[in-house]
Amino acid sequence: MTPLADARLSPEAFARARAFLLDRGRPLEQARFRHDFEGGAVGEVLDALRAYRNPDGGFGHALEPDVRAPGSSVLATSVALEVLHSLNVGAEEPLLRGAVTWLRSQLRADPHGTVWPFLPPEAEAAPHAPWWNQGKEGQLEATFGGFRVNPRAGIVARLHRWPGLTPDVLPEGLLALLTVETRDDILAGLEPGDVNGHVVASVFAQEPEVPELHRAPVLDYLDEVLPGRVQRDPHDFAEHGLNPLDVAPTPASPLARAVTEPLAAALTHLLTSQAEDGSWGPNWSWGGQFPEVWPQAEQDWRSVRTLEALLTLRAWGRLEPGL
């Protein structure tokens, strides 16, 4: 156990984070903060999210700050789906129905299954992080393992929340097929360095609406491999890697038991890594690519990461009572 194992974010530190979000955060994170912490209306979050929506029903416009393309992408639309899932909107919500209809149109079948390519080719022309490069044919697909786990596992897991989408928006047989293919591709083995693949596989394994027949073997697999793959050393948390809080975001997460010890260190780092301006920033950069745009992307990420930090600390009981 670390000396700060039971430490909490002070009211003063919380106030600085709140001030950062409400003064300098994106409207979406501002609305989400007010909803999550101050009783703000769901409609205000939906209005803020709608600013990233395109007429085709998909999402873009740097909703995911590392890709600045305005057009719709599976990457941005999966982020929108995550927000809608967190709000527990009903299956009749137009933003949800439009997003899922658009996602269905983007499915690509190949001899190995059915996947969602993260980005359309035209996103290459807009500023983006280097890991989203697709200047060479097949480059993005190679970077993300053929898209077999990421992004599919996270999207499929969240779609199980809304059985009311079937049969007109998302045929039940299609969701069942995607679920089986996702399970099998995770169980075929994740590359140890595939950080986001482990994260979305953890979402799949811990989403209670995913049928247990498919969840349980993935949960068993992750229980076995995660202890050797998550970050453990306090110095590691300052670098991009598989943070145990990303696979066990709450104490109720079934995978928390597999990473108990590193979770304590991760929470300590989260508490002590708040910047002077009240924010939490990304632990990555674009490495000199599109240097004129990275500062805006970094600022957007500070908005996202600060809200995420506050939600995580609250989930783990690390805010002072009443916050």
Q: What is the 3-state secondary structure (H, E, C) of 4-60?
A: CCCCCECHHHHHHHHHHHHHHCCHHHHHHHHHHHHCCCHHHHHHHHHCCECCCCCEC
For residue range 247-267, list pLDDT tens digits in order: 999 999 999 999 999 999 999
| Topology of the domain covering 11-315 | Glycosyltransferase (1.50.10)
Q: With 60 as the cut, is the pLDDT of residue 4 above it?
A: no
Would you state the pLDDT for residue 5?
55
Q: Which of 67, 209, 84, 83 is nearest to 140 (CA)?
A: 67
- For Cα atoms 320, 322, 323, give the angle at the middle one, nearest 5 degrees: 65
| Mean pLDDT of the 298-315 span | 98
| Mean pLDDT of the 130-139 span | 97
Strand, helix or coil for residue 319: strand
Give dist(CA 144, CA 197) in Å, integer.
8
For residue range 82-104, list pLDDT tens digits in order: 999 999 999 999 999 999 999 99
Cβ atoms of residues 313 and 280 within 8 Å? no
Q: With 80 as the cut, is the pLDDT of residue 1 above it?
A: no
Is this prediction's pTM over 0.85?
yes
Provide the residue ranges of all domains of the chain, joining segments of one domain with +.
Answer: 11-315
